[in-house]
Structure 1
Amino acid sequence: MRLLAFLFLIVPLWLAAHGAHAVTLIAAEVPPYVIRSQQGAPSGMAIEVLEEAARRLHEPLTIELMPLARALSQTRHRPDVLLLPPVKSPQRTAQFLWVTPLLEEAFVLVSHRDHHPVPLTRYELPTLALGVMRGSYGQSLSQPLPKAREEAVTEEISNANKLALGRIQGWAVAWNTARYTQQQAGLPLTDLVRGETLQQTAIQLAAHPDFPPKEASRWRQAIEGMQRDGTLARILKQYDYQAP
């Protein structure tokens, strides 16, 4: 009986010290990196990367899905969470701990072949309506451009539909997001005209600045291992990812 009592006392302590503990991932709904599923857990290329990293680290992963603007705000107030899939910008640099880059992306101006068949440049923006997602990196890149009539929405699929209808003439967006969202809306990929590149950058895994540095290092090392062994490239290929 004494042995059983000792085991009941010591096993929970050992698990707390050495066992897996759930990590919360705040996932902003930005396809194709984070995709809301009709049923069950979210999917997407960045989600799959983090799930594989969690498997390698033997850590359960709790995913909280929310709009981008709310995800950024939540992470700034919760020191124990990871964040997907932000882009590092001058305004955000000090707001988060930047754990590791996941993939390269190009933020571009997109037009519709029926309404603006020539690749769109920043110099044409003052005469156009430009679609952006509220709180997105595409919106921040549009701020210093020649002033367009900016129309902000909460989901990129709204921009895809508005572009097809001619309600906006330009779309500031990550190229892989534009491609995925166009297909999600049931619209032809061939209708998209890729215009000027506003910036090439990286989609990142981030966290609150007070996230434990040792934990951040473990996640970084796991993802770097996936880059070395080809796992990350295989995941991206499943989503028809196009590098810049």
Structure 2
Amino acid sequence: MRNQSNSTTLIAKIKTMLRRCLFVFIMVFSGLIVTSAQAKVIRFVAEDLPPYHYLNEQGKPDGVLVDIAKELQLHSGLDAKIEILPMARAHHELQTKFDVVMLAWLKTPRREKHFQFLGSMCQSSASLIGLKSNVIQLSQLDDAKRLRTSTIRGYYSEQYLKEAGFSEEHDLVLVSHYKSMWQMLYKGRTDLILTNTRTLKRELDELGLDPQLLEYKLTLHDFPSELHLAANPQFSKLDAQKLKHSLAAIKASGRYDEIVKKWRFIN
């Protein structure tokens, strides 16, 4: 009887252990499924830079490249969300997270070695701009070294100026946002700004600043002009190919041009 009782107790313990193991297995497996599903959500990130990408009055991502990102999502079938972040944080996310795609990142030879560039989203040009009242004659970039030149911290323009010999100790003033940059110029706290010229009118209208007071002092022809869809090397190669193919497809179909024309009409 004692042996039978011991056997019954042992069987009960084994059943209890098996139930616990099964419960743990189900919980772990469920967690893996959730994690896998979450990892499949791509994060399109971009800075606040109208009309390319910005938060509208409802606090939702909006802009011409946001519309293109939505079209890419539909065409590729990938699950994605769009986030508007400060440039420094967007750059950090691109460098450190494997699910992040930057909507528009300037393509440079150095970056091309370390990131995946999936196709051109738009093009722009860069110039040194100042107030008309501030009479400045520039024939080359070096001529600006005796002046205060501003750009946005974390932009390629910061690297470009530093490689040309500008420094924060002498003639380079870095800011965190385009609003601060324009305000400093109009208040005479800086002499020149290095900026993307395509967004100029929209930015000044938003700030209530008169564009007639400005003057192009020097166009930088050697400054890179293509803004690309970009991801870090660890981003899924399969998803990268899907996005690359989708961008080429919506351009070939004319859908890309439709979106761009719509925004140009509104602006």
Give the structure-1-normalised TM-score: 0.80
Pair 1:53–1:89, CA change in 2 (3 A): same
- Determine whether 1:195 maps to 2:208: no
- Determine whether 1:93 maps to 2:117: no
C-alpha displacement of 1:118: 6.1
Residue 65 of structure 2 corresponds to which residue in structure 1? 46
Q: Percent identity?
A: 21
The structure with the greater share of residues assigned to helix is 2
Q: Aligned equivalents of 2:173 and 2:139: distance in 1? A: 17
The one-letter code matched in structure 1 to 2:101 is L
Calculate the aligned-residue CA RMSD, in Å: 2.4
Residue 115 of structure 1 corresponds to which residue in structure 2? 134
Residue 33 of structure 1 corresponds to which residue in structure 2? 52
Structure possessing the higher radius of gyration over alpha carbons: 2
Pair 1:63–1:120, CA change in 2 (3 A): farther
The one-letter code matched in structure 2 to 1:233 is D
Q: 2:244 aligns with which of 205, 215, 220?
A: 220
Residue 17 of structure 1 corresponds to which residue in structure 2? none
- Answer whether contact 2:69 2:103 (CA < 8 A) is retained: no
Cα offsets for 1:103-127 (capped at 9, x unmatched): 1111211112232476785243122
Q: 1:170 aligns with which of 182, 192, 196?
A: 192
Residue 235 of structure 2 corresponds to which residue in structure 1? 211
Give the structure-2-normalised TM-score: 0.74
Pair 1:225–1:108, CA change in 2 (3 A): same
Pair 1:58–1:187, CA change in 2 (3 A): same
- Answer whether contact 2:72 2:243 (CA < 8 A) is retained: yes
C-alpha displacement of 1:33: 2.1
User: Which deviates the most, 113-122 or 58-67?
Assistant: 113-122
Q: How many residues align?
A: 221
Q: Aligned equivalents of 1:190 and 1:112: distance in 2? A: 9
Q: Aligned equivalents of 1:53 and 1:182: distance in 2? A: 30
Q: Aligned equivalents of 2:235 and 2:263: distance in 1? A: 30
Q: Tell me, which stretches of 5 or more residues in structure 2 are unaligned?
A: 1-39
Cα offsets for 1:11-42 (capped at 9, x unmatched): xxxxxxxxxx6322122333332213332322
- Determine whether 1:161 maps to 2:183: yes
Q: Aligned equivalents of 2:123 and 2:147: distance in 1? A: 28
Q: 1:59 aligns with which of 78, 90, 98?
A: 78
